[in-house]
Structure 1
Amino acid sequence: MFKRMIFPIVIGVLGCAILIWLGTWQLQRLAWKEGVLAEIRAEIGAEPVPLPEVIDASMKYLPVEATGEIGDEELHVLVSRKQIGAGYLIIAPLTLDDGRRVLLDRGFVRDMEKDAERAGGSVTVVGNLHWPDDMNSSTPAPDMTRNIWFGRDIPAMAEALGTEPVLIVARDSTGAGIDPMPVGIEGIPNDHLQYAITWFSLCLVWFGMTLFLLWRIRARTD
């Protein structure tokens, strides 16, 4: 009887060992990811600096302060907010005091306020540089007739508004009726705990199946 049990025991032990290793690895990844998120959170909330003259994507999340004039042109990005519903992010050009033009994400307005008039003018903006991961292969092209975009495509938006391909996401209000949506870590996935629970749960199932198989072998032998 014991000889018949050797193979199931070996398979059971190996399977449990692999699943426990996978779960432990995910817990290690969880600790690493939480450290990364803590660094990003600290970087986002740091004291703003003047907008650098030379900007690249490595400056993502950099807190900046810029003074300039908000232009009348707008691009509207279709989004949805929990407990609110559909609405639009308002992307406008910001002409700085030194003549540079950059993109400004002013924040969110509800669907019915898409085409409402909004105050522009001189403003000092505190926000974060951002290169959002809004676009993928399935994102539709913008509806230029209705001025509806389906993601913040920085190069295309910069071309449409005649600005540098640089986006500042405002932390605070830049006008009445606009709800700022500052950069945060909410959109950064961190599913390692769920993965760890899944692997450990599978280990318990594997262990239970192994015990059941051994019981069946012993019952048949008896």
Structure 2
Amino acid sequence: MLKRMIFPIVIGLVGCAILIILGTWQLQRLSWKEGVLAEIEAEIGADPVALPAVIDESMKYMPVRAEGVIAPEELHVLVSRKQVGAGYRIIAPLETSDGRRILLDRGFVPDEAKDEARPTGQVAVVGNLHWPDDMNSSTPAPDLGRNIWFGRDLPAMAEALEAEPVLIVARESTGEGIDPMPVGVEGIPNDHLEYAITWFSLCIVWFGMTLFLLWRIRTRTV
């Protein structure tokens, strides 16, 4: 009987060891990811600096301030907010005091306010530079006729508004009726705890199956 049990015991122990290692690795990844998110949060909330003359994607999340004029053109990006429902992000051109024309994410308006007139003109903006991850292979093309976009496609939006593909996401109000949707870490995936729980749960199942198999071997040989 003991010889018949050796192989299931070895397989059971090796399987449990592998699953425990995988679960522990995910906990380590969780700790690392939480540190990264904390750094990003600190960067997002730092004191704003003047809009740099040269901007690239390494400056993602940089808090900035800019003065200029919000032009009347705008694009509407379909979004949904918890406990609010469907609505639109308002993307407008910001003509800065130093002669640049960039994109400004002013924030959220509810669905029924999509086509309402909004305050424009001179403004001092405080927000964060951002390169959103809204677009993927399944994102529909914008409905240009109804001015509805399904993601913040910076190059396409910049072309439509004749602006630089540079986006400031406002973290303070840029006009009555527009609710800022500032940059945050909520959209950054952090699934390592769920993965760890999955691996440890599989380990428990594997251990239970091993015990069951050993019990079957023992009962058949008694």
Q: TM-score, normalised by structure 2?
A: 1.00
Shift of 1:193: 0.4
Amino acid at match of 1:142: P
Aligned positions of 1:1-222 closer than 5 A: 1-222=1-222
User: Hey, what's the Cα distance between the residues in 1 that align with 2:44 and 2:182?
Assistant: 9
Deviation string, structure 1 residues 93-148 (Cα, Å, up to 9, x no partner): 00000110000000000000000000101000000000000000010100000000
Amino acid at match of 1:169: V
Amino acid at match of 1:113: A
User: Hey, what's the Cα distance between the residues in 2 that align with 1:26 and 1:97?
Assistant: 48
Runs (4+) of structure 1 exceeding 2 A deviation are none
Shift of 1:17: 0.3
Shift of 1:199: 0.4
Task: Specify the SS of the correspondent of 1:149.
Answer: coil
Q: TM-score, normalised by structure 1?
A: 1.00
Deviation string, structure 1 residues 46-85 (Cα, Å, up to 9, x no partner): 0000000000011000000000000000000000111111
Number of aligned pairs?
Answer: 222
Shift of 1:7: 0.6
In structure 2, the gaps of 5 or more residues are none
User: Hey, what's the Cα distance between the residues in 2 that align with 1:162 and 1:52?
Assistant: 20
Amino acid at match of 2:40: I
User: Hey, what's the Cα distance between the residues in 1 that align with 2:91 and 2:34?
Assistant: 31
CA-atom RMSD, angstroms?
Answer: 0.4
In structure 1, the gaps of 5 or more residues are none
Shift of 1:179: 0.3
Shift of 1:21: 0.3
Amino acid at match of 2:165: P
Amino acid at match of 2:81: R
Overall identity of the aligned pairs, in % = 81
